[in-house]
């Protein structure tokens, strides 16, 4: 299974965040092997409009755009098996 961050994810996230509304904390479990870094930047800006604290949980991989998203978070939680880049 592979996952990449692309601009089309913004609409999906926007719909979900509208349903949740503003909240104190959003935790995002992130697994991505690659992706569009500008979409990642836009995603961080979108999520931050809905929360005061943004946390990213990386169980395995957060490459390329995943690294950008992680750097936009207040907290990054990584397992022993996780790594941002490369193999």
Cβ pair 27, 53 in contact under 8 A: no
What pLDDT, in 10s, does the model give residues 48-66?
Answer: 999 999 999 999 888 889 9
Parent domain of 9: 4-78
State residue 63's pLDDT score. 84
Backbone angles phi, psi at 57, to 5 degrees: -115, 125
> What is this structure's pTM?
0.86
State residue 5's pLDDT score. 86
CATH of the domain at 11: 3.90.226.10
Q: Across the strands, what pairs with 41?
A: none
Q: Tell me the pLDDT band of 87, cut-offs 50, 70 and 90.
A: low
The CA distance from 28 to 56, in Å, is 5
State residue 61's pLDDT score. 85
Does residue 86 belong to any structural domain of this protein? no
Residues 6+ apart with CB under 8 A from 37: 64, 65, 68
Does residue 24 belong to any structural domain of this protein? yes
Q: Tell me the pLDDT band of 80, cut-offs 50, 70 and 90.
A: confident
């Amino acid at each position: 299974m592979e996952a990449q961050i692309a601009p089309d994810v913004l609409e999906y996230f926007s719909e979900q965040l509208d349903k949740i509304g503003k909240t104190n904390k959003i935790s995002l479990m992130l697994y991505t092997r690659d992706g569009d870094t500008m979409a990642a930047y836009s995603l961080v800006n979108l999520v931050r409009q809905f929360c005061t604290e943004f946390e990213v949980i990386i169980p395995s991989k957060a490459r390329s755009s995943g690294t950008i998203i992680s750097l936009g978070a207040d907290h990054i939680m990584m397992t022993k098996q996780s790594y941002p880049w490369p193999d």
